[in-house]
Amino acid sequence: MDIPEITPAQALERVRAGAVLVDVREDGERAGGMAEGALGVARAALEAQPVQWLPDRDAEVLLLCAAGRRSMLAAQALAAQGYSRLASVAGGTSRWREEGLPMSAPTEGPDFLERYSRHLLLPEVGLEGQRRLARARVLMVGAGGLGSPIALYLAAAGVGHIRLVDDDVVDRSNLQRQVLHREAGIGRPKVASGAEAMSALNPNVTVEPVRARLSAANVEDLLRGHDLVIDGSDNFATRYLVNDACVNLGLPMVYGAVHRFEGQASVFWPAQPGGGGCCYRCLFPEPPPPEFAPNCSEAGVIGVLPGVVGLLQATEAVKLILGVGQSLSGRLLQFDALRMRFDELRLVRDPDCPACGERPRLKGYEDLPAGCALG
């Protein structure tokens, strides 16, 4: 069946005479406004179940997209399903707008639509996903090597509220890998320097800097009320506190660590819906004795490595907020930068785990010796 193309003006005239106009762009695209009288249904959804929106296969149906290609493809798909009176609007919404034809008001402002335009084009994100990101509350532990890319990309992605926790100040030796900070920030608290950079990148997100070291006394209060926690800490004391508090509060912990030329990432979430999650103590029940922990100032790390691992953590955080894809829960991703190789280990919950096992043995929180964990 040959699908005729009509002009936007002709489409408007037919709509006013009773034809059905369907805008097949994605939800995020339609947030910028639709042609007058249009019904908004993403192309994939329309083609999968057209009768849900178009029960009469003999009704006149006009298809509209951004420029005319997707609407033609949608019309052809509908023709194959028995629809007989179809037309595609040439030039799509772009031409409709250029010709000054009536449009519905945008549901989001121009900054939102332009800033997140590439997200809005993704069916896995779209308008509702971007709004979900804006509603999310994320706690970040550490504004150093791992925290730097995480902070920048979460702010850029539009995560609405980010609490940044760190007690350190910017040192010149940090700048080789901690790209959240600048030379002029040396001596400033990392959370202040970091919050400034994040707000400069995206002023629409709320960054809450908290200059503090996590301890048994404050860890649960700092974590409570968030959707997830990202661990970018550099010492075992903090990492175990974060893990234990996440277990108690039922929060996912997005984990990352780096050492010299190697890094690893995972998601620890025993309370994961559907099961299958474990915690950090399932992998490492107890921290190593201080004498076996690496020395932070002597072990070293290639500067780009925290960028790679931190971006993996940021990706996992965004996926968890959106509820898309398969997270790293139950898997440990290992990265060898020298060989440029990723390996994966399967993780299972330890029934004897002191934190999340069948008979948890941890009572409250404990301040452990710091011990460098090279995060």
Strand arrangement of the beta sheet that strand 253-259 belongs to? 206-211, 161-166, 137-141, 228-231, 253-259, 262-268, 331-336, 341-346
Annotated active-site residue 282? The verdict is no
CA 349 – CA 277 distance, rounded (Å): 7
DSSP for residue 92: H
C-alpha 8 chain-centroid distance: 37
Amino acid at the residue 120 = L
CA 197 – CA 207 distance, rounded (Å): 10
CA proximity to 71, closest of 52, 46, 53, 99:
46
What is the Cβ-side half-sphere exposure of residue 291, based on CA atoms within 13 angstroms?
A: 0
Compute the Cα dihedral for 206, 212, 215, 221 and give only its sign: negative
C-alpha 155 chain-centroid distance: 10
Compute the Cα dihedral for 148, 150, 151, 156 and give only its sign: positive
What b/e readout covers 323-350, taking b as 16+ CB neighbours within 10 angstroms?
A: eeeebbbbebbebebeeeeeeeeebebb
Tokens representing 208 are 């809450």
Q: CB-based contacts of 23: which residues, under 8 Å, 6+ apart?
A: 30, 34, 35, 38, 39, 40, 41, 64, 65, 93
> Out of 246, 278, 282, 296, which one is annotated catalytic?
296
CA 114 – CA 78 distance, rounded (Å): 32
CA 253 – CA 280 distance, rounded (Å): 9
What residues are labeled active site? 296
